[in-house]
């Protein structure tokens, strides 16, 4: 029998991480990007944000690869708006593509390549 109030609270709150799942997914992807040898060997992880009156936009990670940068947007679910990624790609047309990491399976639509969270370790091959 559980008498510890904290244990009871944990069992009753099954959605403990649901409010933080986006941040957890971003952290997971960031750590995997750092761990990828060769993909990000000689650079740090960056992010991009644009603050304009009444409108903000951000890209979770900007990864430098030889001769180019690649924006990486992380979504905790398969669905999610990609306004910031579209804005970044239109503002910087020389960027060949952007990557969306989410629960969605492998797809490509225009300049956006979607890959599932479980395959982040394979980003070097994209």
**Cα(124)–Cα(106) distance, integer angstroms:** 15
Predicted confidence (pLDDT) at residue 71 exceeds the cutoff of 90: yes
pLDDT tens digits, residue range 1-42?
455 665 555 566 656 566 678 888 899 898 888 887 655 556
CATH of 20-125, one of 3.40.1350.10, 3.30.470.30, 3.40.50.300, 3.60.21.10: 3.40.1350.10
pLDDT band at residue 64 under the 50/70/90 scheme: confident
Can you give the pTM of this predicted structure? 0.79
Sole residue written with tokens 């403990």: 16
**Cα(49)–Cα(47) distance, integer angstroms:** 7
E-strand ranges in the chain read: 46-52, 55-65, 68-74, 98-102, 107-109, 112-116
């Amino acid at each position: 029998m559980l008498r510890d109030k904290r244990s009871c609270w944990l069992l009753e709150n099954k959605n403990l991480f649901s409010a933080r799942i986006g941040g957890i997914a971003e952290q997971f992807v960031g750590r995997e990007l750092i761990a990828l040898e060769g993909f990000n060997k000689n650079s740090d992880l960056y992010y991009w944000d644009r603050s304009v009156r009444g409108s903000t936009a951000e890209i979770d990670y900007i990864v430098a690869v030889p001769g180019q940068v690649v924006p990486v947007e992380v979504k905790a679910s398969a669905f999610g708006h990609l306004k910031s990624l579209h804005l970044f790609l239109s503002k910087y047309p020389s960027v060949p593509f952007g990557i969306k990491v989410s629960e969605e399976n492998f797809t490509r639509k225009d300049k956006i390549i979607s890959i599932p969270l479980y395959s982040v370790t394979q980003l070097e091959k994209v």
